[in-house]
Amino acid sequence: MPEITLVAETGRPLGSSSTRRLRHEGKIPGVIYGHGTEPVPVAVEGRELRIALSGESGSNQLLELKTGNQTFLTLARDMQRHPVRNTVTHVDFLIVRRDEIISAEVPVTLTGEALEVQHGDGLVEQQLFALPVNAKPADIPAVIEVDITDLIIGGAIRIADVTLPAGVTTDLEDDVSIVMGQASRVVAVEGEEEEGAEGAVAAPVEGAAESTDSEG
């Protein structure tokens, strides 16, 4: 995964009024930190950051921030967003090294068609939408694909069933379900109603037996 280079302006004034002015100019305030480096307040062009993070790698895109005579290899983390517009209002840039193992969340995408589930009027229920992984920054996959072609009703695809890319691991247990084949909700409700009806019929019969015994 190649990095994307952004210019990060240093020496930005702190305070809410200065921050509002930056945002009005189309810039996003942030801070560079990590690996024992003193936090460096910066500002980046909002449009350039949006473009950088809108690719297939999303927030796991490696960003090379140029601050004058220094360059930092980073990942965008802890992005704060506007409560209404959902635009990024502040971002922390975590310094990383190419040779270190870091943690990241990777989206899970389902591929293929679960024909057995479809023919049985069942439902494909995704349990896990993002997988926490450990990998070197350049090895973090853009997405984890899970093939559901062989999924059946009552079956599940678990962590142990997925082959992760080379150099990528996860701390989740092998038996954690990613996706399950569920029976149709209509079928499940009908089954519950039938069980309830059987129980309702059984009750009077038991009562009648007790009445007969007492008369005798």
Mean pLDDT by 10 residues, the chain (216 residues): 88 72 85 92 92 90 92 91 80 95 96 95 96 95 96 97 96 97 70 57 50 49
What strand order describes the sheet that includes 123-126?
123-126, 177-182, 156-158
Are residues 81 and 127 part of one domain? no
Out of 45, 80, 96, a domain closes at 96
Instruction: Locate all alpha helices (DSSP H) within 8-136, ordered by sequence.
Output: 16-24, 46-53, 115-119
Give the count of beta carbons closer than 10 Å to the beta carbon of residue 18: 13
Are residues 78 and 160 both part of a single domain? no
Global pTM value: 0.74
> In the block, which residue shows the tokens 């995964």?
1
| CATH number of the domain encompassing residue 28 | 2.40.240.10
Specify the pLDDT at position 208.
46
Distance between CA atoms of residues 148 and 150, nearest Å: 6
Q: Cα–Cα–Cα angle for 18, 22, 23, nearest 5°?
A: 120
pLDDT of residue 74: 96
Take residue 31 and report the two structure tokens written for it: 């801070």
Contacts of 122 (CB under 8 A, 6+ apart): 114, 153, 181, 182, 183, 184
User: What pLDDT does 42 receive?
Assistant: 92
What CA–CA distance (Å, rounded) separates 157 from 151?
Answer: 7
* C-alpha torsion sign, points 183, 189, 191, 195: positive
213 is a domain residue: no
**Which amino acid does the sequence have at 190?**
E
Q: What is the DSSP letter of 13?
A: P
Do the Cβ atoms of 125 and 141 come closer than 8 Å? no
164 plus 128 within the same structural domain: yes
Of 72, 96, 120, the domain-final residue: 96
H or E segment at 4?
Answer: strand 4-7
> Rounded to 5 degrees, what angle do the CA atoms 119, 107, 100 make?
145
| Domain CATH for 145 | 2.170.120.20
Q: Give φ, ψ of 209 to 5 degrees.
A: -65, -40
CA 42, 44, 49, 52 torsion: positive or negative? Answer: negative
pLDDT reported for residue 161: 97
Full residue range of the structural domain in which residue 156 is found: 103-187
User: For residue 211, what pLDDT is reported?
Assistant: 47
User: What pLDDT is recorded for position 1?
Assistant: 66
